Chain A
């Protein structure tokens, strides 16, 4: 305690008594907190806070067509239009919810299983870890194209493999009802490794003692997982769910790469993000799209809030 006090005292002394320091340098040192943060804060204010505020404003106008066109204030009309739209908006909400909750569930369960497989050291561990990392860093658009070939109904490997078992052919991405599950499969292939890495980091940081104690008490492997490992790992699981959940809600690249504009000709994979993008840049309906985006944003914040308040219960 006393050591810290002395240090602080000498710091101030060295600052105030040193005459060699020019005035601007002393000013910079005294205000370094804001000086260091300022450039990043200005960037954030200009390129993030201001645009978000503008989106809120646009959502209350009838802006459409050219970006130089005049627009007028129309209140909450866009919101009413959007919320009563059962043709594009609500199906998109439903697809977003199905997509996100589906991939999250599979990715967390599968990710947990794979993380447990990798947990204890084994021969060739290094190579397995490389295999886990590769899908994760691959460019999502390229990943979409890769699966597009594999799932092609006529020449794709997927239907050939099904054929070996006397099944198929299935339409995969080309089917009106099978397209969404197929894109979910692609997301699961690419992002389960992310959950594996996060959970593995959590598992490695756990202390061995509770495990050993449970082992001495004669707990089975499942009991040790269910009552020792899982509760201790719960905070990490929630971090994984939070990070993956935010990104899954906003999935765009693989949907656009596999089904193109509007989520396919029947909008079969049109999630909220894809819908908002199409409204903005295919139809130039800036006002309506801004309203969709604000609602989308509120959905994201709401689900995050629901998750983090649960996190406090667990911890």
Chain B
């Protein structure tokens, strides 16, 4: 067992390197968001600088980000809630009645390039004068949320023993009653996992809002581009905007780490 100590040292060094390379860029982004543009251009002020909130003031006041934060929250929340509402019962049916072919159709949505849906959507919704409204944005985000929720919840229902529902039936519950009073309460961890993940993906989604939103309804990932001009970039503002978009979702992931990880790795070990 002499070999253990060098391995231990190697492992510690390697782990530190991994953590540093993952976190340093994020720390750099946050640091730049607290600098003036003059300091960003000055190599001597890389680490030692006088922090300023000016960039955040620009982002929140001048660039109207309070509105865009509200837009992102509303779209992500509505798309997630609606997807749970129609996705959870569907996942239940697909799991209990082994509707594998229907499930495959829903899951195909993970494979289809989003652009190929955007073109027809754009055709239909611009003829209905709906492009730029929240309804279309929320529907488009459900394209990501719904398959995710069906996928995660199918796995979850597959793992719930049938006996629990059957005992409810014996006690006089109808099948729908057993679903509502027994299966659904038992599924809260699964629904939480699916919901949090759907919220993250919707919050981060860029392409749908890029095409389907207007100046009033655009979400945060699109609003970031307000800081990128043709000739020059307001680096301080851009980094503050990027931090405003990313930080909330990182906090969500931090506090709901268990759920996020189980959602991201759902189905990974079934083979």
Contact (Cβ within 8 A) B211 A141: no
Contact (Cβ within 8 A) B120 A43: no
Residues of A near B238 (CB, < 8 A) are 145, 149
Residues of A near B200 (CB, < 8 A) are 137
Number of residue pairs across A and B with beta carbons under 8 Å? 283
Listed stretches B50-58, B63-71, B90-98; interface member: B90-98
B103, closest chain A residue (CB): A37
Q: Which 5 A-B pairs rank lowest in CB-CB distance, beginning with the nearest?
A: A40-B90, A51-B120, A36-B89, A142-B242, A39-B86
Contact (Cβ within 8 A) B22 A135: yes
Contact (Cβ within 8 A) B265 A293: no
Complex: A135 Cα to B27 Cα, angstroms: 12
Chain A facing B: main interface SS: helix
Residues of B near A160 (CB, < 8 A) are 43, 46
Q: Mark B82-119, 1 if CB is under 8 A from A, else 0.
A: 00011101101110110100100110111111111111
Contact (Cβ within 8 A) A52 B166: no
Kindly state whether residue B269 has any CB partner on chain A within 8 Å: yes
Contact (Cβ within 8 A) B92 A250: no
Kindly state whether residue A76 has any CB partner on chain B within 8 Å: no
Residue among A10, A130, A149, A253 making CB contact with B239, cutoff 8 Å: A149
Contact (Cβ within 8 A) A149 B175: no
Kindly state whether residue B161 has any CB partner on chain A within 8 Å: no
Residues of B near A18 (CB, < 8 A) are 172
Chain B, range 197-224, C-beta contacts under 8 Å to A:
200, 203-204, 206-207, 210-211, 220-221, 224
Contacts A54-B120, A235-B271, A252-B206: A297 and B250 contacting too (C-beta < 8 A)? no
Kindly state whether residue B14 has any CB partner on chain A within 8 Å: yes
Contacts A44-B105, A134-B250, A142-B224: A117 and B18 contacting too (C-beta < 8 A)? yes
Contact (Cβ within 8 A) A142 B246: yes
Q: Number of contact residues on B: which range applies?
A: 35 or more
Q: Number of contact residues on A: which range applies?
A: 35 or more
Q: Mark B234-249, 1 if CB is under 8 A from A, else 0.
A: 0100110111011001
Residues of B near A197 (CB, < 8 A) are 261, 264-265
Contacts A129-B257, A142-B221, A142-B242: A201 and B265 contacting too (C-beta < 8 A)? yes
Residues of A near B207 (CB, < 8 A) are 252-253, 277
Kindly state whether residue A283 has any CB partner on chain B within 8 Å: no
Contacts A141-B206, A145-B239: A134 and B169 contacting too (C-beta < 8 A)? no
Residues of B within 8 A of A (CB): 11, 14-15, 18-19, 21-23, 25-26, 28-29, 32, 40-41, 43, 46, 85-87, 89-90, 92-94, 96-97, 99, 102, 105-106, 108-123, 126-127, 139, 142-143, 146, 150, 166, 169-170, 172, 174-176, 179, 200, 203-204, 206-207, 210-211, 220-221, 224-225, 228, 233, 235, 238-239, 241-243, 245-246, 249-250, 252-254, 257, 260-261, 264-265, 267-269, 271
Contact (Cβ within 8 A) A48 B127: no
Contact (Cβ within 8 A) A44 B106: yes
Residue among A33, A118, A140, A236 making CB contact with B268, cutoff 8 Å: A236
Residue among B121, B242, B261 making CB contact with A47, cutoff 8 Å: B121
